[in-house]
A = this chain, B = another copy of it.
Amino acid sequence: MTTEQDRGEARCNQVLDAAATCFRQRGFHGASMAELARAAGMSVGHIYHYFENKEAIIAAIVERDVAEILALLDSLHDEEDILQALIREAGNEMEESPCSDEALQVEILAEASRNPKVAVTVHEGDRRARTRLAETIASGRARRGLPPLADLEARTEIIIALFEGLMLRRIRHPKAVDDATIAVLRSTLHTLLET
């Protein structure tokens, strides 16, 4: 039973991995099921053995994305100095090569703006993410012996906005990365996190 479940799950992931690639390149509605099938190394008809329809695949991709973001936030708890790790990571994120996930992220947001089911997942995922980030920041400050913030949620919101804006910058201005910009970013985060 476990082996069969594993195999089923592996096949689902095979589809989803392929779907993520196709969706990233072509968008949710530009990528056809035929393309997904090719990329997954599976027949078109067989995809429907694992997913009810294309919309179910889209929903699964969105949920996966939410889970990844939450896992990333979780990993911050392992850092000795959480605040420094956040600041460091922001700069590192900015230096990432542009072939990462902003295309898929933007597609998810575009879909959320017009598909109520996706919007629900995105909103719930966001609620959990910002709660977790707020806790993480509070925890990091406590470790540093800094006083609790009265405006913790507000600062969290602005920090998230900044991170999300940086992602968009990678589409609009892919060459934005330089030392000065990273320095301003880190200084801004320092103000938001450590003062």
Seen from chain A, the residues whose Cβ lies within 8 Å of a Cβ on chain B are 25-27, 29-30, 102-103, 106-107, 109-110, 112-114, 122-123, 126-127, 130, 151, 153-155, 157-158, 160-166, 168-169, 171-174, 176, 178, 180-181, 183-185, 188, 191-192
Query: In the complex, are the beta carbons of B188 and A176 less than 8 A apart?
Result: no
Residue ID in chain B nearest A98 by CB atoms = B113
Query: In the complex, are the beta carbons of A110 and B113 less than 8 A apart?
Result: no
Instruction: Return A114 CB to nearest CB of chain B, in Å.
Output: 6
Instruction: Return A107 CB to nearest CB of chain B, in Å.
Output: 5
Residue in A29, A102, A106, A176 whose Cβ sees the most chain B Cβ within 10 Å = A106
Q: Do most interface residues of chain A lie in helix, strand or loop, or is the interface mixed?
A: helix
- A161-B166, A165-B161 as given contacts; A109 in contact with B188, CB under 8 Å: no
Residue in A30, A160, A168 whose Cβ sees the most chain B Cβ within 10 Å = A168
CA of A164 to CA of B157 in the docked complex: distance in angstroms? 13
CA of A106 to CA of B111 in the docked complex: distance in angstroms? 9
CA of A173 to CA of B107 in the docked complex: distance in angstroms? 17
Cβ 8 A contact of A184, one of B25, B123, B127, B192? B192
Query: In the complex, are the beta carbons of B181 and A157 less than 8 A apart?
Result: yes
Query: In the complex, are the beta carbons of A123 and B173 less than 8 A apart?
Result: yes
Residue ID in chain B nearest A126 by CB atoms = B172
The 4 closest A-B pairs by CB, nearest first: A165-B165, A161-B165, A154-B180, A103-B113
Complex contacts, A112 vs chain B, CB 8 Å: 171-172
Query: In the complex, are the beta carbons of A30 and B30 less than 8 A apart?
Result: no
Query: In the complex, are the beta carbons of B26 and A183 less than 8 A apart?
Result: no
CA of A155 to CA of B109 in the docked complex: distance in angstroms? 26
- A153-B180, A180-B153 as given contacts; A114 in contact with B173, CB under 8 Å: no
- A27-B110, A161-B162 as given contacts; A188 in contact with B192, CB under 8 Å: yes
